[in-house]
Amino acid sequence: MKLHKKHILQFIVTTLVVTMFFSCQDNYSEIQKLSYSKRFPVGEAENMFLVYTDSGKVKSTLRSPYNKDFSNQKFPFMEFPKGIVLEFFDENNNKSVVTSDYAILYSDTRLVDLQGNVVLTTHDGNVLEAPQLYWDQDKEWVFTEGEFKWSNEYGVLLQGTNGIDFNKSLTIIDAHEIYDSTIPIEEKDK
């Protein structure tokens, strides 16, 4: 069987066209996957520092090394993939601090999801530690459904595995399940 130059050329052209068609199809499907599976932020910020004031009084400050703004999504949010330091002040200007390795602020619900080594330290020395805490800004309520440890200068007060709810000043507390608790009692001189 003798192949002519014409047949060889047709074979090469056909092979190239088929290869190009399949490689274009493959790239197109990859591009489609990107557009459906990736969210792109409307903005990004490094070394972010925000101050929230009300009637000329500082209510809170937020610091983060990196922020992504996804306010362009159907359910808008702000992501802090490198963590936050949040300071908030009460009526007497007493400062409490929350830190976490990661955080998301959901704009519509005003719920903040704090994750990774979350530590809440109140101005009077109470410390709440948890892998994850939620902060409802409108109700000024903090909660978790996971484990937690609450301590102060006297030691561990409460430890649990199934969550705790409380107001931001830790004066109203609902611990769901406690496996260890210590309540210090102050002795009075007689």
Q: So where are the chain's domains?
A: 1-38, 43-181
Quickly state the pLDDT bin for 59 (edges 50, 70, 90).
Answer: confident
pTM here is: 0.71
Model pLDDT, residue 131: 95
Query: Looking at the domain that runs over 43-181, which CATH code has it been given?
Result: 2.60.450.10
Q: Place 69 in a pLDDT band, splitting at 50, 70 and 90.
A: very high
Rounded average pLDDT over 75-82: 95
Query: Can you give the pLDDT at residue 20?
Result: 54
Q: How far is CA 152 from CA 114, 156, 182, 187, in A?
A: 21, 7, 11, 18
Residue 4 in this model has a pLDDT that exceeds 90:
no
Q: Is the pLDDT of residue 26 over 70?
A: no
Going by C-beta distance under 8 Å and a sequence separation of 6 or more, which residues neighbour residue 66? 44, 45, 46, 48, 80, 81, 82
User: Per-residue pLDDT tens for 85-136?
Assistant: 999 888 899 999 999 999 999 989 989 999 999 999 989 888 989 999 998 8
